Amino acid sequence: MANPERVKASPLARRIAKTNGLDLSQINGSGPNGRIIKRDVEQAKAPPQQKPTAAIQHGAQTTTQPEIMPLDGMRKTIAARLTEAKQTVPHFYLTIDCRLDDLLTARKNMNAHLDGVKISVNDFIIKAMALALRDVPDANAQWGGDHILKLKQSDVAVAVAIEGGLFTPVIRAAESKGLKEISAEMKALAGLARDRKLTPDQYEGGSTSISNLGMFGVKNFQAVINPPQATILAVGGGEERLIPINGQAVVANMMTVTLSCDHRVVDGALGAQLLHAFKHYIETPVALAL
């Protein structure tokens, strides 16, 4: 149990939380040092539930009536930011296939030497993307309106689906972190995201994002860029495919990824370079350890 004394909140925020039956430990504080203030509680306050309509109360048409779902703060943010991104960021998309066999072997070997933490394919993807950005520094940048901001480390955001929406916590300087470290950090951030406890410094900024829908059987898709980032990598599921090698049909574990690029920052050739660097690290996992 969290110690209720440890929650930092203004008296007014406490009062509003109490009268609305809200649990302060579930609310993100935006005040100094994460202090929960009125604005945070108001945002967390579930919008007033729609009263059941007369028709429903009378038992008629219950199942066919459309239902109005009020927007919560997260839905509003997602709506506003992604609409802006899709309308103002000139997206283009690059798709590539990566062979996973060596990576899967490496992962198996590594995990055999680890107890407790298990490194996931996604952890490899984070690290590969971070190193790719390091190797192709021109693609590690953000659009700044009248300038381009070149970043000096690879801050990789990872989309985490949660009930009713998603968060994109950021692994900072992922190029300098080991797989074990990335794995542990990702686990902690995903937990905080699910509890809606991420603080702005844990989700703001970033060089790129990774959105992985492989576990849902998705083969390939195109993701919307999360500004001010210049790219996002959409990752499909790994699967066995027949591929021709030297004229022979070979069964290989394959994964398809699509990179969405902000054309204002990353042109086609630069995006392709980044994607090739990524593919190289995925297909040559020993390079990840160098």
Partner 1 sequence: MSEEFDYLVIGAGPGGYVSAIRAAQLGLKAAIIEREHFGGICLNWGCIPTKALLRSAEVLEFHHHAANYGVKSSGATADLPAMVKRSRDIAKQLNQGVQHLLKKNKVPSFMGAAKLVSKHEVQVTDKAGKTQHLRAKNIVIATGARARILPGMEPDGGQIMSYREAMVAEKIPSHLVVVGTGAIGVEFASFYRALGAEVTLVEMLDRILPAEDAEIAAMAAKSFEKRGMNIRNKAKVSGVKKSPQGLEIMIETKGKQEIIKASHLLSAVGVVANIEDIGLEALSIATETGCIKVNAQCQTNIPNIYAIGDVTKGPWLAHKASHEGVIAAEHASGGHPHELEKLRIPGCTYANPQIASIGHHEESAKAAGYEIRVGRFPFMGNGKALALGEAEGMVKTIFDKKTGELLGAHMIGAEVTELIQGFAVAIGLETTEEELMNIVFPHPTLSEMMHESVLSAYGRAIHI
Selected from 137, 200, 219, 289, the binder of partner 1 by CB under 8 A is 200
* 48 interacts with partner 1 by CB under 8 A: no
| Closest of 121, 109, 287, 77 to residue 213, by C-alpha | 121
Sign, Cα dihedral of 188, 190, 191, 196: positive
* 15 interacts with partner 1 by CB under 8 A: yes
Taking the CB of residue 209, how many other CB atoms lie within 10 A of it? 23
Q: Minimum distance from CB of 32 to partner 1 (Å)?
A: 8
Q: Minimum distance from CB of 153 to partner 1 (Å)?
A: 14
* 19 interacts with partner 1 by CB under 8 A: yes
Non-local CB neighbours of 58 within 8 Å, separated by 6+ positions: none
From residue 134, give the alpha-carbon distance in Å to each of 138, 192, 273.
9, 28, 12
As a whole number of angstroms, the distance between CA 266 and CA 274 comes to: 10
Q: Minimum distance from CB of 70 to partner 1 (Å)?
A: 18
Q: Is 263 a known active-site residue?
A: yes
Selected from 2, 12, 55, 79, the binder of partner 1 by CB under 8 A is 12
Q: Minimum distance from CB of 73 to partner 1 (Å)?
A: 17
As a whole number of angstroms, the distance between CA 94 and CA 114 comes to: 35
In the bound state with partner 1, the residue whose beta carbon lies nearer, of 15 and 76, is 15
Query: What are the residues binding partner 1 (CB under 8 A)?
Result: 10-13, 15-16, 19, 32, 37-38, 144-147, 200, 204
Active-site residue list: 263
